[in-house]
């Protein structure tokens, strides 16, 4: 039996795939645990410089698995707290992964799937993709994914999307900041590959430091001038920074760029 979550690594690129097309890649507690485990594994692979989150089949993900939801409804508050903490941990782990992340959205993305999209650095979607945050219709709330979706599209837009649970299309998702790039379905993989190649032109340490910088700025810096000055000074004198600057001035390719 094929695993519902597959991690493949080829050189500098890791691909984490939801592999449950027959269930529209809906996830449950087992899949959440597998995703967390695979993300932790990626952290240990020093050669990996970018992660692509993707799925098989027509849908990106239908969000929570119905059988999982039925089972959780029969359990205690304490058991539901433990379960919800795991989903929150998944979102945090993906959101704070040190390397750049790309999410490839080929189709329908509902509920928690929008949380996964919001936690990735770059979202590339088919122009046929559909989206919905439908939790309130079930008497629930997009709670654990809420901080990340609000961060992605803004609180005012989330008032509309969370409270109406309305379906929205790929163009709206792009207009509102959930998705960065829209392409025709047949061009989706090509666009993902192009974005991977763009990321791989950057210094590996510089990419990580820059991702950390963005998170630090969002949290708020006590001394932003000092913090940012220290960062650029440290990178300038680092081995990677010195190599990158030398290559630029000598009109050569940086050593991390594969020829």
Structure-token match 């050669």, residue found: 47
| Banded model confidence at residue 259, pLDDT cuts 50, 70, 90 | low
Which whole number is the average pLDDT over 150-165? Answer: 98
8 DSSP β-pair partners: 15
**pLDDT tens digits for 194-244?**
999 999 999 999 999 999 999 999 999 889 999 999 999 999 999 999 999
Q: Which run of H or E residues covers position 41? A: helix 29-43
Which whole number is the average pLDDT over 118-128? Answer: 98
pTM above 0.85, yes or no: yes
**pLDDT tens digits for 42-98?**
999 999 999 999 999 999 999 999 899 899 889 999 999 999 999 999 999 999 999
Question: 160 to each of 153, 154, 165, 166, 176, how far by Cα in Å?
Answer: 11, 11, 8, 8, 12
Q: Which run of H or E residues covers position 241? A: helix 239-249
d(CA 222, CA 48): 32
For a pLDDT cut of 70, what percent of the chain falls above it? 99
pLDDT at 66: 87
| Banded model confidence at residue 1, pLDDT cuts 50, 70, 90 | low
d(CA 152, CA 108): 18
pLDDT at 160: 98
d(CA 225, CA 90): 33
Cβ(215)–Cβ(96) below 8 Å: yes
pLDDT at 258: 77
**pLDDT tens digits for 9-31?**
999 999 999 999 999 999 999 99
**pLDDT tens digits for 219-228?**
998 899 999 9
């Amino acid at each position: 039996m094929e695993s519902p979550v597959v991690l493949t690594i080829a050189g500098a690129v890791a691909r984490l795939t939801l592999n449950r097309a027959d269930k529209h890649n809906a996830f449950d507690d087992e899949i959440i645990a597998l995703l967390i485990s695979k993300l932790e594994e990626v952290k240990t692979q020093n050669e990996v410089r970018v992660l692509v989150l993707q799925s098989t089949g027509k849908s990106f993900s239908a969000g929570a698995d119905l059988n999982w939801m039925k089972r959780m409804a029969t359990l205690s508050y304490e058991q539901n707290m433990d379960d919800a903490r795991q989903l929150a941990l998944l979102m945090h782990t993906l959101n704070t992964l040190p390397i750049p992340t790309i999410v490839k959205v080929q189709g329908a993305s509902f509920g928690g799937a929008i949380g996964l999209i919001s936690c990735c650095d770059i979202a590339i979607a088919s122009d046929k993709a559909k989206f919905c945050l439908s939790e309130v219709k079930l008497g629930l709330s997009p709670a654990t994914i809420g901080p990340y979706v609000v961060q992605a599209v803004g609180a005012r837009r989330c008032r509309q999307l969370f409270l109406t649970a309305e379906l929205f299309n790929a163009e709206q998702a792009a207009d509102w900041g959930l998705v960065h790039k829209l392409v025709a379905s047949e061009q989706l993989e090509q666009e993902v590959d192009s974005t991977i190649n763009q990321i791989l032109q950057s210094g590996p340490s510089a990419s990580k430091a820059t991702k950390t910088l963005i998170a630090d700025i969002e949290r708020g810096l006590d001394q932003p001038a000092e913090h940012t000055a220290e960062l650029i000074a440290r990178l300038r004198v680092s081995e990677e920074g010195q190599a990158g600057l030398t290559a630029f001035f000598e009109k050569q390719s940086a050593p991390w760029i594969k020829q």
